[in-house]
C-alpha cells in the first residue's frame, strides 16, 4: 500500500498536467463553436499537439537530465541560429514563426528551455557572486533576449529575463547585485522606451488608461474585463458564452482563453483553475528543494519561473493588472510550440524527480 501511495505521489505532477490539458482542450472545443469557423480546425490541430506532446513528454522523461548539461552549448548556439534565421524568413504578424511543413516552429518558445539548460549548466560549478560570472550570465541570457526583441516579441523576452534572474537568485547572486541591476534598468528606461515600437508603447499607455481609446487600442482590455465579469459566480455554462462565441473578444483561443473560462464557468471555475495551478507549481517547488544536485535544482527553478511567470502575466493582463502581452496560458491556450516546450519541461522535471539525489 505504501509503494502505491508513493507512486501516485510521484506521478501527481503528470496527473495535474493532464487535468490542465483536458481543461484547455475543453475550452478550445467551446471556442470552436463560435462564429469564427477557423477555430474548428485549430481545435483539431491542438488534439494533434496533445498526442505529439504526450509522446515527447514520456520520451523526455526517460532521458537522464544530466545529458542536457553535456549538450547545453550545442543547444544554445542552435537556438541562436534559429533566432537569427527567423528574422529573415519568419512569417506571421511579428515574423516569429518558421514554417516547417504544416508545423509553425517558434524559436522564441524553445529559447526558454534552452536558456534554462545553458545558464544552469554554466552556473553549476560557478558562483554568480563574482562580478565576472554575474555579468557573463547576463550576456548568455541577453543575446537571445536581444534577438527575440528584434522580432519583436517583448512578452517572451520579458519571460526569459525573469527566468535568468530566477536562476541567478537560486545560484546565489546577492541582493546588492540585483539592486545594481535594477538601478541600471531604471536609469536606462528612457532609452528603452525610445526603442519600443509604437504598438508596444500603446499597450502600456492603454494599460494605464484603457478609456483613452475604448474602441481602438483599449478595446481588447475592456472586452476582456467585461467577458470575465459577465460569468458571475457560476458562469453561463459550457458552450453558452456570448462575448466569446460572438467574437466581441478577439484571440479568445490563445491570449484571452482565461476570459472564456471566466465567462462559461464563472468565479467558481476561475478559483478551481487557480487552485490546480497552485498544486502544479507547488509540485515543481517540491522537486526543486528536494534535490541535492545543483544542476537539477537550477533547471527546476528555471522551469518553475517559466510556468509561474506565464500564468501570472497571462491572467494579470486579462483582468487589467498588467499590460497586454502575447503570453500563452500553459497547457490551456492554443499553440504548438508553447505546448511542446511545456511538455518537454514536465518530462525533464519527472526525470529529475526520479533520478537526482534527493534529501
Q: Show pLDDT as tens, one digit a residue, over the chain (359 residues).
A: 444 444 445 578 999 999 999 999 999 888 888 766 667 778 888 899 999 999 999 999 999 999 999 999 999 999 999 999 988 876 655 567 777 766 678 899 999 999 999 999 999 999 999 999 999 999 999 999 999 988 878 889 999 999 999 999 999 998 999 999 888 888 877 777 666 666 666 666 665 555 555 555 556 677 777 888 888 888 888 878 777 766 667 767 778 888 889 888 999 999 999 999 999 999 999 999 888 899 999 999 999 999 999 999 999 888 877 777 778 899 999 888 899 999 999 999 999 998 865 54
d(CA 346, CA 248): 35
- What pTM, to 2 d.p., does this model score? 0.89
Q: What are the φ and ψ backbone dihedral angles of 162, each rounded to 5 degrees?
A: -65, -40
Rg (CA), the chain: 20
CA atoms in the 13 A half-sphere facing the CB of 254: 13
Peptide bond preceding 152: is omega within 30 degrees of 0, i.e. cis?
yes
Question: Which residues lie closer than 8 Å to 126 by C-beta, 6 or more apart?
Answer: 133, 171
- CA angle 126/130/133 to nearest 5° reads 55
Q: Are 51 and 338 in contact, with CB atoms under 8 Å apart?
A: no
Question: What burial class does residue 51 get, using C-beta atoms within 10 Å of its C-beta: 0-12 exposed, 13-18 middle, 19+ buried?
Answer: exposed
d(CA 159, CA 166): 11
Amino acid at each position: 500500500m505504501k509503494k502505491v501511495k508513493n507512486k501516485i505521489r510521484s506521478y501527481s505532477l503528470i496527473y495535474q498536467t493532464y487535468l490542465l490539458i483536458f481543461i484547455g482542450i475543453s475550452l478550445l472545443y467551446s471556442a470552436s463553436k463560435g462564429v469564427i469557423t477557423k477555430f474548428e480546425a485549430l481545435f483539431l490541430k491542438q488534439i494533434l499537439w496533445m498526442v505529439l506532446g504526450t509522446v515527447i513528454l514520456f520520451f523526455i522523461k526517460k532521458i537522464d537530465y544530466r545529458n542536457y548539461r553535456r549538450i547545453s552549448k550545442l543547444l544554445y548556439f542552435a537556438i541562436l541560429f534559429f533566432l537569427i534565421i527567423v528574422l529573415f524568413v519568419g512569417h506571421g504578424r511579428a515574423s516569429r514563426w518558421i514554417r516547417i511543413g504544416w508545423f509553425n516552429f517558434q524559436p522564441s518558445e524553445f529559447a526558454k528551455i534552452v536558456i534554462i539548460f545553458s545558464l544552469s549548466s554554466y552556473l553549476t560549478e560557478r558562483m554568480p557572486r563574482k562580478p565576472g560570472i554575474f555579468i557573463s550570465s547576463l550576456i548568455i541570457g541577453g543575446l537571445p533576449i536581444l534577438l527575440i526583441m528584434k522580432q519583436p516579441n517583448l512578452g517572451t523576452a520579458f519571460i526569459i529575463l525573469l527566468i535568468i534572474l530566477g536562476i541567478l537568485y537560486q545560484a546565489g547572486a546577492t541582493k546588492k547585485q540585483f539592486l545594481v541591476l535594477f538601478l541600471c534598468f531604471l536609469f536606462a528606461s528612457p532609452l528603452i522606451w525610445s526603442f519600443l515600437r509604437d504598438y508596444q508603447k500603446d499597450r502600456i499607455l492603454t494599460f494605464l488608461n484603457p478609456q483613452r481609446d475604448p474602441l481602438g487600442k483599449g478595446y481588447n482590455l475592456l472586452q476582456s474585463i467585461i467577458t470575465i465579469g459577465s460569468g458571475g459566480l457560476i458562469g453561463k455554462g459550457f458552450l453558452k458564452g456570448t462575448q466569446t462565441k460572438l467574437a466581441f473578444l478577439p484571440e479568445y483561443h490563445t491570449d484571452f482563453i482565461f476570459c472564456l473560462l471566466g465567462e462559461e464557468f464563472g468565479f467558481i471555475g476561475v478559483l478551481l483553475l487557480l487552485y490546480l495551478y497552485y498544486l502544479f507549481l507547488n509540485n515543481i517547488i517540491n522537486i526543486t528543494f528536494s534535490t541535492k544536485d545543483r544542476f537539477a535544482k537550477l533547471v527546476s527553478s528555471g522551469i518553475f519561473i517559466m510556468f509561474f511567470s506565464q500564468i501570472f502575466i497571462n491572467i494579470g493582463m486579462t483582468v487589467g493588472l498588467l499590460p497586454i502581452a502575447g503570453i500563452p496560458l500553459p497547457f490551456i491556450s492554443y499553440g504548438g510550440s508553447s505546448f511542446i516546450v511545456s511538455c518537454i519541461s514536465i518530462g525533464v522535471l519527472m526525470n529529475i524527480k526520479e533520478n537526482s539525489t534527493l534529501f
